[in-house]
Structure 1
């Protein structure tokens, strides 16, 4: 198959689509402890589970995102570039290695998925239309949860995270205006009525996740290859903000973020089928990657879901060879912050 280039950001913006797992190599102790003790960065080779999608003729690509486990242990995955009527959200049985349609429609460009702790529904970000849509746990009853402008500008919602009360925190991955970055982090109340900008002037913010204790938010900026931290004030606002980690990604860019029970960050890479793993103190602990023999037709690892209460991780990987699930052993157990978003 002819190798398709990764579309530049300008092209993705034009079509309204921001681009947006198997065992590890260590079995004794925790990987984080070992990496910290030796100062070495481990390489974890993920193993293929299955191919979920092929490149769509209508859109010229496939891009898997937003893996999230439901209460039955089934994995929901979104296909950002699926055309109208195709499988925009898939429900995957990772044990049986089967998948089926969970949701489709004629307009959505869905870039992430997560279940609300408040009402139990699954929420999807529609990047192209600036909306957040919710579905019943079985995929029925689609509703528009939020639409319209925030502080005078429509969002390009990319990833999302829920706090413990069910309020939403969204990376608004807007681009540039008059040469200045206009991306934002937005908080939306759980009733969908009030939206507040928590951070602005950001360069295409993408990944977003609470830390393990819900004290603050990690978020990445795609076009700056950096991860920042928002310390929250407990009253719906921000106490402080700082750049926490600068990611040496080379040609790859920072995509989605997940956080495990030990507070480690799993930073997905757009432009390379790999993830960089950091401690909460910014130490590079590991690189999770697709083995070289399989990586030729794969170009991005966009996100990961770690089995709640377990260490089995499932990473979404895409490229001209299609959209795949790969698996690996995470450094610590999965929690809500490593399940969707």
Structure 2
């Protein structure tokens, strides 16, 4: 089986887009701890649920992202590098270990998925074209929710989060291909008519999630391996911003973020099939890992969905062996902030 490209630009050549979210790789035998607070030694072993995808001949890779559970407990997952005609959004019955195509098209490079609390539709970020696309819950009725420039510059939307009213907060990974700090955090109102830059000068922002109380946003920067915090005021404007956690990932990079009911951060890693878990105060709590016997053929654990009201977590893991779902017990119950994005 062909191995995945090892650098972002190699991935771009494979799929013909300007940039793609989190495309590093990790050799076997890397250190066990991806970084954070000294002395944290708890390891959570994730267990394989099923293989969802194989490496696509046309693009040379598969990369699963954006897991989100619907109201029936079915898991939706996007395949970032799926070519036209192959499933770009899959719906998975985790109990029966079966999957089906929910959506495909000849255009989108989808890097995240989440249900809107405002209209109940599925929202997808199209990294290549700068669009936000929405689908009906059954995968039909595709619509372009937002397209175009924001403050005179196009977006490369990677992940998204919703506030309680259904407004969108998007990590814009502009500059990922050349490493320039042109990234932004963008707020789009729930009508899709008004877009505002909340933070700029960022190094390929990737993961984004509200904290447990919707007081602020956590976001990760892929090429700086750090997690920052934006505190928001009552009107949704930024009142402060600071670097909160520095992730010592080695060759692995910070990918998507999820937050559980206790405020713990689940930081996905691209470049190693593992996830780092931090408290809201920056304490390293745990490392989620796949079994060593499987890790050699897997190179990323991008994101996680935790069952709302429960602790069963589903992690998207990918590499030259294919795209997989793994499961583990989260440290606290799932909420909206740990279900999609």
Band the TM-score falls in, shorter-chain normalisation:
over 0.9
Partner of 1:274: 274
The count of aligned residue pairs is 324
Secondary structure in structure 1 of the residue aligned to 2:294: helix
Q: Distance in 2 between matches of 1:189 and 1:167?
A: 5
Partner of 2:66: 66
Q: Distance in 2 between matches of 1:127 and 1:76?
A: 18
Partner of 1:9: 8
Partner of 1:121: 121
Partner of 1:147: 147
The Cα shift of 1:272 comes to 0.1
Q: Distance in 1 between matches of 2:179 and 2:104?
A: 37
Q: Distance in 1 between matches of 2:53 and 2:43?
A: 27
Distance change >3 Å, CA 246–CA 110, structure 1 → 2 = same
> Cα RMSD between the aligned structures?
1.6
Return the TM-score normalized by structure 1. Answer: 0.92
Structure 1: tracts of 5 or more residues without a match:
21-35
The Cα shift of 1:6 comes to 4.3
The Cα shift of 1:236 comes to 2.5
Q: Distance in 2 between matches of 1:173 and 1:227?
A: 14
Q: Is the 8 A contact 1:19 1:270 kept in 2?
A: no
Q: Is the 8 A contact 2:4 2:61 kept in 1?
A: no
Q: Distance in 2 between matches of 1:223 and 1:123?
A: 26
Q: Per-residue CA shift, 1:46-77, capped at 9, x if unaligned?
A: 00000000000000000000000001110000
Q: Distance in 1 between matches of 2:84 and 2:139?
A: 16
Partner of 1:33: none
Q: Per-residue CA shift, 1:210-241, capped at 9, x if unaligned?
A: 00000000000000000000000121210000
Structure 2: tracts of 5 or more residues without a match:
23-36
Q: Distance in 2 between matches of 1:138 and 1:289?
A: 33
Partner of 2:111: 111
Q: Distance in 2 between matches of 1:96 and 1:180?
A: 45
Q: Is the 8 A contact 1:19 1:63 kept in 2?
A: no
Distance change >3 Å, CA 175–CA 87, structure 1 → 2 = same
Q: Is the 8 A contact 1:6 1:299 kept in 2?
A: no
Q: Distance in 2 between matches of 1:8 and 1:177?
A: 10
Distance change >3 Å, CA 125–CA 93, structure 1 → 2 = same
Secondary structure in structure 2 of the residue aligned to 1:84: coil
Q: Is the 8 A contact 2:67 2:303 kept in 1?
A: yes
